[in-house]
Amino acid sequence: MITVKNLHKKFGQLHILKGIDLEISQGEVVVVIGPSGSGKSTFLRCLNRLEEPTEGEITFEGKSITARGHNINQTREKMGMVFQQFNLFPHKSVIDNITLAPIRVKKMEKARAVSLAVELLRTVGLEDKLNAYPSQLSGGQKQRIAIARALAMEPHVMLFDEPTSALDPEMVGEVLDVMKKLADKGMTMVIVTHEMGFAREVGDRIIFMDQGQIVEQGTPQEVFGAPKHQRTQDFLSKVL
Ligand code: ADP
Ligand code: MG
């Protein structure tokens, strides 16, 4: 579904991504781990060109999205993204937050957008918050709404950048549960997280990044159970 070839990203003189190669299959759950500053967010943001790659090629569903003239907005509709900060529209109700983009961008009929939103609210366990405003919700609830909002565009892949890092510990589980449910339904997902238990349980593949490169990748058993590289071992010994 996604192929990344020789991806480099520089910010001025800073060489942040140093040649990433990766293929992600439909239905696969890829979990990216690694130290802070290793380029995980930059990598994720290059996948939908929130950051412009400096070099390399990314294809999505068979089309090069880094090619000149490619309509990235159309592609972004198919790539849902959830950030550490929820970025809900504060002055809009939950239902308006969720239906806005489908109606405006996808030209979905309002009735269909609303019924889809209700269904998604059920998926994330917040069907009773339809008319609430973001300020009335806890962090965990806001993040679950942010996930529902991304899903409302009916994306083909979901990108998560540390979706639980800004949450109080007691709210982490409810968000991870929603993500696990999505994975079980077959959603293709790329997830940057520090939740190693979740990575192990839900990931089909673990990618360990350090200093802008993929140092090691494999199944959770391989990477967590028998890490091959010293850098992976050092990292895991600190976080496990
Ligand atoms: P991670 O998500 O693994 O913590 P990031 O991708 O956020 O890492 O950042 C990798 C490196 O790139 C960091 O050193 C960070 O300071 C740098 N960086 C990220 N975004 C920018 C930017 N817009 N301009 C300059 N440097 C950046
Ligand atoms: Mg990051």
What are the residues facing 59 on neighbouring strands?
A: 3, 64
Note whether residue 132 is domain-resident.
yes
> What is the CB < 6 Å shell around ligand 1?
11, 14, 16, 34, 36-42
pLDDT cut 90: percent of the chain above it: 99
- Name which residue sits closest to atom 15 of ligand 1, judged by CA: 37
Q: Please identify, by atom number, the ligand 1 atom nearest to the C-alpha of residue 34.
A: 3
Ligand nearest to the CA of 163: 2
Closest Cα partner for 159 from 60, 13, 17, 240? 60
What tens digit of pLDDT does each residue of 9-20 get? 999 999 999 999
Sign of CA dihedral 37, 42, 43, 44: positive
Domain count, the chain: 1
Distance CA 36, CA 46 (A): 17
Whether residue 101 is contained in a domain is answered as: yes
43-82 pLDDT, tens digit each: 999 999 999 999 999 999 999 999 999 999 999 999 999 9
Contacts of 6 (CB under 8 A, 6+ apart): 19, 20, 21, 55, 56, 57
Distance, in Å, from the CA atom of 87 to the CA atom of 68, rounded to the nearest integer, reads 30
Name the nearest CA neighbour of 240 among 190, 215, 206: 206
Q: Tokens for 8?
A: 């480099």
* Residue 240 clears pLDDT 90, i.e. is over it: no
What confidence tens digit (pLDDT) does each residue in 174-233 have? 999 999 999 999 999 999 999 999 999 999 999 999 999 999 999 999 999 999 999 999
10 Å CB burial of residue 90 (0-12, 13-18, 19+) is: exposed
In a domain, residue 42? The reply is no
Mean per-residue pLDDT, 120-128: 97
Q: Using CA of residue 70, residue 75, residue 77, residue 80, what is the dihedral sign? A: negative
Q: Which ligand is nearest to the CA of 207?
A: 1
Domain that holds residue 110: 88-154
Nearest CA to ligand 1 atom 20: 42
Interface confidence, given as ipTM, is 0.98
Q: 149 lies in a domain?
A: yes
Backbone φ and ψ for 69, nearest 5 degrees, come out as: 85, -5
**Backbone torsions φ then ψ of 128, nearest 5 degrees:** -85, 0
Does residue 169 fall inside a structural domain? no
CB–CB of 33/208 below 8 Å? yes
Residue 125 inside a domain? The answer is yes
Ion ligand 2: residues, CB within 5 A, are: 40-41
* Of 206, 147, 142, residue with least CA distance to 180: 147
189, 182 contact by CB (below 8 A): yes
Nearest CA to ligand 1 atom 11: 37
Q: Which residues is 216 bridged to in the sheet?
A: 208
- DSSP conformation class of 208: E
Does residue 137 lie within any of the structural domains?
yes
**CA dihedral for 47, 199, 154, 116, sign (positive or negative):** negative
Mutate to test the pocket of ligand 1, among 8, 11, 43, 192 (most ligand atoms within 8 A of CB): 11
Q: Give the chain's radius of gyration (CA, Å).
A: 18
